[in-house]
Amino acid sequence: MASHVVGYPRMGPKRELKFALESFWDGKSSAADLEKVAADLRSSIWKQMADTGIKYIPSNTFSYYDQVLDTTAMLGAVPPRYGWNGGEIGFDTYFSMARGNASVPAMEMTKWFDTNYHYIVPELGPEVKFSYASHKAVNEYKEAKALGVDTVPILVGPVSYLLLSKPAKGVGKAFSLLSLLDKILPIYKEVVCELKAAGASWIQFDEPTLVMDLDSDRLQAFSQAYSALESTLSGLNVLIETYFADVPKEAYKVLTSLKGVTGFGFDLVRGTKTLDLIKGGFPTGKYLFAGVVDGRNIWANDLASSLSTLQGLEAIVGKDKLVVSTSCSLQHTAVDLVNEPKLDKEIKSWLAFAAQKVVEVNALAKALAGQKDEEFFSANAAAQASRKSSPRVTNEAVQKAAAALKGSDHRRATNVSARLDAQQKKLNLPVLPTTTIGSFPQTMELRRVRREYKAKKMSEDEYVAAIKEEIKKVVQLQEELDIDVLVHGEPERNDMVEYFGEQLSGFAFTANGWVQSYGSRCVKPPIIYGDVSRPKPMTVFWSTTAQSMTSRPMKGMLTGPVTILNWSFVRNDQPRFETCYQIALAIKDEVEDLEKAGINVIQIDEAALREGLPLRKSEHTFYLDWAVHSFRITNCGVKDTTQIHTHMCYSHFNDIIHSIIDMDADVITIENSRSDEKLLSVFREGVRYGAGIGPGVYDIHSPRIPSTEEIADRINKMLAVLETNILWVNPDCGLKTRKYAEVKPALSNMVAAAKLLRTQLASAK
């Protein structure tokens, strides 16, 4: 019985790639240094899987930024502004597309389906001249082969690539991205031919868009693409991989009828309904890659349950055609439990990171082949039983409080217009008030302070004094820049979710459970293993400390319940919405304590609300109802004069704008600049928004510093569709990943642009 892994984490167990990338970007190391780190990581991953016994080992899943950008490079689809003149695409062009440079902005970045991973969105139009410009897939296959490991090269499928793209600026509305299919297929054919010549026997095309709601024209594109590739693919075994949800019935029919395809991969963790389709009919003689090991969470697999599922599938497709697989790439989970010596032993027994999931895949494959490791399965069963019966998982008081939420929609008593009037009387803000999103640069010195305090090399008094000094600097800088509503800069926080999770019950934490979000940005999601509550105030001390340093309004900074949920590894033994309601009640306690302490502006970030939206439209309403309700629970009890902000970033918002309005926040700051100001189009189309709103005026994920004129131009575009009295001026997102040398001039230009517009508006009256 064979085993397969869809993909593997690429950052390394100790974030080796992150540090190599940042060293290269800072000019402290060479391209050769970066390539050496990458090659060592790839080598260790391939050897680990081979030693474990995995038969179908992936290659070309490694990336310096993301796999969609890699495909853009492969196709030579570089936007003209980057000045690429042909030939093999190097790091300069590649990273300019991802991060921008001194003269041109980066391409748009958005969420990868409903995950916290991001990708760089291709910009395509009828004039794009495609060419084979990156041989990465072939080179990595050869690299593995030289190490004695025969791999399955993975490519983002041609149809999904186009469906995940966007029309370039200036392209007419009538343009269809799928019209480019015939132009990109010749490049795919070149790649396939080179892989065949190099000795590849299998190739995997990832076509995850097949789990989406696709019309007949889009589904037809899959048939068209693989029919066109059929002769080139002859002699190769071809796997089409899907993940993240059920494959709809019509898509399943199209997929399993594709020409030249040997096997089909399905996510049977988040796509359990696909099992019914398989039972209803699976093409004879084809391979089924059964994704029964969860690639998106960190809970140990219920091996007995998975084995039962696999045995049922074996009866349908045949013993020699069933391959045990992960549900998706393991890049969405942490790397290895071996790196967690301090993790609670009982909780640790309930977990499996990427390295352990590879072992689970192989153990299931061996069990199907009659070589069941009884000791391994017995230990797994004991861990499953321990988790179900552990008293630390359940808190009856929390469950009772969450159950009592039913029957109320938890709205504030006064409408937003009246609240804004009351808040303005108290805050006395100018037209086009300026603010930032929360975090300020996380310097090496600041990281050292937190690290030494955590390692008990610094006393609590020393730590508090150091953090107070950092807050003082951030407050003084904002006052010097003349920003209207201040933040304390979050120097005490390494991560916005981890910080709160550490202070809530029901959460566990890792030392090295890092997961890539984009580029070199890694997050360390907390693990929600039990019922959630707030034992004591979490932010009141730091917020009141910061407010005591200034007469200007100081925002209390919280992470919202939906974002804490979506950016954590969540327990899978109860519905997600129940866990979310528990978190909402904990944040509600914090909001009310901040208000009592004299904090008049409180920001409750819901950066990940859109991210959790199910991939199928039929499931949207249920999710949005409980997600928006959870946000309202957090602040339903505050006074009219307390201004509630929220923040959302890097996603597509237009299709959920009415749910955003229904959140009933007083002010929302929202990503806008990097997505070509798509957000503004919803207001051009007539949506009325009465609360305060701050569409981001510049992209903080790029080192580029925008000019005053550029920012003023953006604000003018906003004023064309939004009322002057509700518009705020702010960056796209928090500033923690930037350097002060970038932040100071960018914010200075932002404030100058706001003042320029205020003067123009005043003179126009």
Tokens coding 526: 């907390």
Task: Provide DSSP, 593-636.
Answer: HHHHTT--EEEEE-TTTGGGS-SSGGGHHHHHHHHHHHHHHHHT
Residue bearing tokens 């808040």: 423
Residues at the binding site for L-methionine are 437-439, 490, 605
Residues at the binding site are 18, 116, 437-439, 490, 521-522, 567, 605, 647, 649, 658, 662, 671, 733
Residue bearing tokens 């690639």: 295
Residue 651 confidence (pLDDT): 56
> How many CA atoms are closer than 13 Å to the CA of 250, on its beta-carbon side?
10
Q: Are 346 and 383 a contacting pair, CB within 8 Å? A: no
Q: How far is C-alpha 111 from the chain's CA centre?
A: 5
Question: What is the mean predicted confidence (pLDDT) over 712-722?
Answer: 91
Distance CA(736)–CA(523), nearest Å, equals: 13
Residues at the binding site for Zn(2+) are 647, 649, 658, 662, 671, 733
Q: 3-class DSSP state for residue 707?
A: coil
| Domain coordinates in residue numbering, the chain | 414-764
Q: How far is C-alpha 708 from the chain's CA centre?
A: 31
Tokens coding 41: 């990581």
Q: What is the pLDDT of residues 521-576, one digit of tens each?
A: 999 999 999 999 999 999 999 999 999 999 999 999 999 999 999 999 999 999 99
Question: What is the mean predicted confidence (pLDDT) over 281-295?
Answer: 97
Distance CA(213)–CA(634), nearest Å, equals: 33
Q: Are 686 and 712 a contacting pair, CB within 8 Å? A: no
pTM: 0.92
At 764, the pLDDT band (50, 70, 90 cuts) reads confident
Q: Are 28 and 480 a contacting pair, CB within 8 Å? A: no
Tokens coding 88: 């093999």
Q: Which residues contact 753 (CB under 8 A, 6 or more apart)?
A: 697, 708, 709, 711, 712, 715, 729
Tokens coding 435: 């603010």
Question: What is the mean predicted confidence (pLDDT) over 447-455?
Answer: 91
Catalytic residue among 118, 629, 645, 701: 701
Choose between 686 and 585: higher pLDDT: 585
Please list the alpha-helical segments (H only) found in 124-240: 136-146, 158-163, 181-198, 216-233
Pick the CATH number of 414-764 from 3.40.390.10, 3.20.20.210, 1.10.3330.10, 3.40.50.10260: 3.20.20.210
Question: E strands, 306-403, where?
Answer: 322-326
- Tell me which residue of 203, 210, 198, 255 sits closest to 234, measured CA to CA: 203
Distance CA(215)–CA(222), nearest Å, equals: 12
Q: Are 101 and 79 a contacting pair, CB within 8 Å? A: no
Q: Which residues contact 763 (CB under 8 A, 6 or more apart)?
A: none
Q: Are 553 and 493 a contacting pair, CB within 8 Å? A: no
Distance CA(459)–CA(436), nearest Å, equals: 31
Question: What is the mean predicted confidence (pLDDT) over 444-450?
Answer: 92
Q: Are 151 and 141 a contacting pair, CB within 8 Å? A: yes
Q: What is the pLDDT of residues 43-61, one digit of tens each?
A: 999 999 999 999 999 999 9
- Note if 701 is an active site residue: yes
Residue 675 confidence (pLDDT): 60
Q: Which residues contact 318 (CB under 8 A, 6 or more apart)?
A: none
Residues at the binding site for 5-methyltetrahydropteroyltri-L-glutamate are 18, 116, 521-522, 567
Mark 543-570 as b/e (b = at least 16 C-beta within 10 Å).
bbbbbebeebbbbbbbbbbbbbbbbbbb
Question: What is the mean predicted confidence (pLDDT) over 686-691?
Answer: 81
Could you give the C-alpha distances from 433 to 29, 106, 418, in angstroms and in order? 42, 27, 19
Pairing of strands 569-570, 151-156: unpaired
Given a cut of 90, whether residue 102 has pLDDT beyond it is: no
> How many CA atoms are closer than 13 Å to the CA of 764, on its beta-carbon side?
7
Q: 3-class DSSP state for residue 107?
A: coil
Distance CA(323)–CA(287), nearest Å, equals: 7
Angle at 72 between CA 107 and CA 173, to 5 degrees: 65
At 374, the pLDDT band (50, 70, 90 cuts) reads very high
